[in-house]
Structure 1
Amino acid sequence: MTTNTKTNKATHVIVGIGASAGGLQALNDFFDNVPTASLYSYIVVQHLSPDHKSLMAELLGKNTKIPIEVIEDEGEIKANCIYLIPPTNNLVIKDGKFRLLEKPKDKSLNLPIDLFFESLANHSKEHCAGIILSGTGSDGSRGIRAIKEKGGVVMVQQPEQAKFDGMPRNAIKTGLADFIVPVERISDELSNYFEAQSSIDFDAELYQYDERLLKEILKVLKTHTALDFSLYKRPTLLRRIGRRVRVLKLDSLEGYFEYLKTHKEEVQTLYKEFLIGVTKFFRDYKVWELLAEGIIPELVASKDDGDVIKVWDVGCSTGEEPFSLGILFLEEIEKQDKDVSLKIFATDVSQDHLDIASRGSYSENVLSDLSKDRLKKYFRKHGDDFVVKDNLRKCIIFSNHDITNDPPFKNMDVVMCRNLLIYLQNDVQTKVIHLLHYALKQDGILTLGSSESLGVHKDNFEEINRKWNIYRNIESSERLKTEMLNSTAERQTFKRHENGMKNGNVQNYSNTQRLKEEISKAIIQQYGAASVYIDENFQILEAMGAFKKYAQLPEEGFTTNLIDMLPEELAGPIKNTVNKAKRKRSQILYKDVEVYGDDEELQTRLDVLVKPIKNGVAEGDFHFIITLIEQDREHNKAIIVERADIHKSSQERIRDLEEELKETQYELSNALEEAETSNEELQAANEEL
Structure 2
Amino acid sequence: MTSSTDAPGDFEALLSYLKEARGFDFTGYKRTSLSRRVRRRMSQVTLEGYGDYIDLLQVDAEEFNALFNTILINVTGFFRDPEAWEYLRTDVVPTMLAERSPEDPVRIWSAGCASGEEAYSLAMLFAEALGVERFRQRVKIYATDVDEEALAQARQATYPTAAVEHLPPDLVEKYFDRAANQHVFRKDVRRSVIFGRNDLVQDAPISRIDLLVCRNTLMYFNAETQARILSRLHFALAPRGLLFLGKAEMLLSHARIFDPVDLKRRVFRKTATTPAGLGQFPAQGLTYERHGEIGSLDQLREYAFSASPVAQVVITAEDTVALVNQQAEIVFGLSSRDVGRLLRDLEVSYRPVELRGYVEQAKVERRAIRIEDVEWQRVSGEVAWLEIHVNPLVEADGGLIGVSIVFHDVTAARALLDELAHANRQLESAYEELQSTNEELETTNEELQSTVEELETTNEELQSTNEELETMNEELQSTNEELQATNDTLRDRSLELDEVNDFLESVLTSVGSGLAVVDREMRVLAWNRGAEDLWGLRGDEAIDQHLLNLDIGLPVTELQPAVRQALADASFETVVKVDAVNRRGRLVTLAVRCSSLRNPSGSVQGCILLMDIVGEAGAPG
When normalised by structure 1's length, the TM-score is: 0.43
When normalised by structure 2's length, the TM-score is: 0.47
